[in-house]
Structure 1
Amino acid sequence: MISDEFYWKDISKVYRKDSLNEKDFTDLCKSYLMLGSSVDGYFLHVCEPYLVNAASEKEENKEIQKEVEMALLALSAVEQWDVARPQASHLNDTIEIIKYHQEHHNLTRLGYQSAWKYLNNRYYFDFELGEVVSDELHFMREAARELDELARCVDWKRKEGDKREREREEEYVLLRWLLTLEHFLRVCFVQNEEYVGLIGSIMSVFRASRDKNKNISFLCILSLEHSAKKRFVRIDYLLSLGVFDSFLEEIQRSTMDDEMAGEFLEFFESISRRLKGKGDDEMEEAKRKTTKRKTFEWMEEEGLESIIINFHEEIDFFNKRNHHLSLDVTDYFVNA
């Protein structure tokens, strides 16, 4: 069987012999990326410059803008584990695409989200790029704004069979944003004051989507569960936003999905573990004790301990479904 590397070396030679013009070769790259389940490293090295170049077009023309969106969509299909470290010039060009849109609003919602997805998948290899994404491009602020606007556009009350094309598109883009955010919140260690606003927006989408769209609500749960593990995300903020109340309400429902129940338990276990730790200095330690007291009072009032105990026999079952929950129920109690 001919390897992908051999195949794409051969294709690139054909292109250099002018058998394919630049547009045809770019179209070939877009098709392969969007249809393939994985990406050969050599192929991306050959084709990435053409796709980034196509996505950088700024001409206000419907046909050109369609090509820009398709190029960004193709680039966003490359997952972070498919390839090695990307070239800095391609990342810089993508940063400029995002900056230009923030000033001129030239991309569609899908195109803008695709640019962010491509960039976020690349910063897996570069911590400094993560800081640029958070502090210079304000990813968390932009994502929160997009979530808020998309959630307002979706008709959450309509019946499943009654979907207009516009609403399907907006739900699709919203789902893509949440997939990108789930990855970002899982691997990001950059502290930023915009983080709390993003959590608030995710929580709003969760409230709107539960009982309406399982995929969207589950991604919200995953993102909030990742947030509970971050030291720089204040627990009292999660408490005041109503994340605790909503998760407790959901976990008691008779129709609760097993996968969701496992994520809720992981959320409360992460909160408990953090509150049992010690602060690095006196001020941090004082805040931790205050938050611990508030959380304990909330747990007592809501009866969380007895609810967790009721799940004790199911914890081993959840662990068999790729959760990593403690079998000791006291690990879920902040007063233990």
Structure 2
Amino acid sequence: MGCFYSLKGFASSFFERSSLGKRIKNLIVEEEKKKEGENERLLTDLCECYLLLHNEFKSINKTMTKVCVSCLLKEAANKDESEKKQKEVEMALFALSTVRYRGKGKIVHLNEIKEIILYHQEHRHLTQIAYQSDWQFLIKRFVFDESLEGVIVNELHFVREASKGLEKLMKHEDWKKKQKEAKKEKGIGKEPEEEHMMMKWLFVIGRYLTMCKLWNEESVLLVYSIVRLLRAARDINMNMSECCVNILYGTVMNRTMKIEGILKE
């Protein structure tokens, strides 16, 4: 249920007030108090359930955030490349990508997030959705800590990685065909996987371009990728097209790029 809500963009408004929500919170508190390592798998599963079922647009209280984020980052830092372990890492990062912080202050767990991204850039061991989720978790913090800009742009090369991710998805042979078939069939669950991954990238890219003030040659490549996606999607996916247009508009309003530069691309 949590995966479905998060991947499809729904909000489970009543989870916090439900008996299920209260029960999961109590179980997390109970498990966290036990000796470390006694049942880490159960605690991890509970934290994932809680974050994925929680309404992404509402903040979680500090205690629950601290417990869940610490637990899931530990899971996500596992470098075992077996299929089973990578699925667990993917799920942990996907759940973390839904966390919403409020308030100012130094970003917590920055070193852990950086390490996961840098290790993947060297070894390319994460799945696409896991890698996107890690970026999403980091860039959501950016709105409260502008000092992250240099880390995101110069150390972790977000622009290069996001451009590469979008271009790879656009080159996927069947994505346009799947889009047209989904458009004919309609209904929840008919959208191709590539669409969800592209929309996740666009969400993260939009956050970055509408807030970041640093601009370099790599940034132009990112704008070019969005323009290409807009051209490819405009006849088959209105939501994706609108998202691309809004990102370009936000980029101009942020004054990161002059309108002449976007028109040139």
Q: What TM-score do the two structures reach when normalised by structure 1?
A: 0.64
Q: Which residue of 1 aligns with 2:239?
A: 215
Q: Which residue of 2 aligns with 1:319?
A: none
Aligned partner of 1:207: which letter? R
Distance 1:236 1:150 in 2: 28
Q: Which residue of 1 aligns with 2:6?
A: none
Distance 2:157 2:51 in 1: 28
Q: Which residue of 1 aligns with 2:65?
A: 44
Aligned partner of 1:15: which letter? E
Q: Which residue of 1 aligns with 2:33?
A: 16
**CA 1:232–1:178: 2 relative to 1, 3 Å:** closer
Aligned partner of 2:111: which letter? N
Contact preservation (8 Å) 1:55, 1:71: yes
One of 216, 223, 231 as aligned partner of 1:192? 216
Q: Which residue of 1 aligns with 2:98?
A: 77
- Classify the secondary structure of the residue corresponding to 1:194: helix
One of 171, 179, 183 as aligned partner of 1:152? 171
When structure 1 is superposed on structure 2, of 200-209 and 129-138 the one drifting more is: 129-138
Does residue 116 of structure 1 match 2:135? yes
Distance 1:233 1:195 in 2: 9
Distance 1:116 1:149 in 2: 17
List per-residue Cα deviations over 1:238-258 (Å, max 9, x = no partner): 2222xxxxxxxxxxxxxxxxx
Any stretches of 5+ residues in structure 2 without a counterpart? 1-16
- 1:135-174 mapped onto 2 (5 Å cutoff): 135-153=154-172, 154-157=174-177, 158-159=180-181, 160-161=183-184, 168-174=192-198
Query: What's the CA shift for 1:196?
Result: 1.0
Q: Which residue of 2 aligns with 1:31?
A: 49
Query: What's the CA shift for 1:40?
Result: 2.4
Contact preservation (8 Å) 1:155, 1:167: no
Q: What RMSD in Å do the two structures reach over aligned CA positions?
A: 3.0
List per-residue Cα deviations over 1:36-81 (Å, max 9, x = no partner): 1032222011221110010000011111101100000000011344
Distance 2:106 2:96 in 1: 12
Does residue 57 of structure 1 match 2:74? no
Query: What's the CA shift for 1:87?
Result: 5.2
Distance 1:86 1:31 in 2: 27
**CA 1:93–1:58: 2 relative to 1, 3 Å:** same
Contact preservation (8 Å) 1:85, 1:122: no
Contact preservation (8 Å) 2:106, 2:145: no
Q: Which residue of 1 aligns with 2:3?
A: none
Distance 1:152 1:98 in 2: 23
**Number of equivalent positions:** 238
Distance 2:92 2:190 in 1: 22
**Higher relative contact order, chain-length normalized (CA < 8 Å, sep 6+):** 2
Aligned partner of 1:117: which letter? Q
Contact preservation (8 Å) 1:135, 1:192: no
Distance 2:84 2:28 in 1: 26
Q: What TM-score do the two structures reach when normalised by structure 2?
A: 0.80
Contact preservation (8 Å) 1:134, 1:192: no
Query: What's the CA shift for 1:190?
Result: 2.4
Query: What's the CA shift for 1:21?
Result: 1.0
Percent identity, aligned pairs only, is 38
List per-residue Cα deviations over 1:201-227 (Å, max 9, x = no partner): 000000000021111111100100011
**CA 1:210–1:12: 2 relative to 1, 3 Å:** same
Distance 1:234 1:108 in 2: 35
- Classify the secondary structure of the residue corresponding to 2:176: coil
Query: What's the CA shift for 1:12?
Result: 2.4
Bigger radius of gyration: 1
List per-residue Cα deviations over 1:137-180 (Å, max 9, x = no partner): 110111111111111215324332479x9981111100111111
One of 153, 164, 167 as aligned partner of 1:134? 153
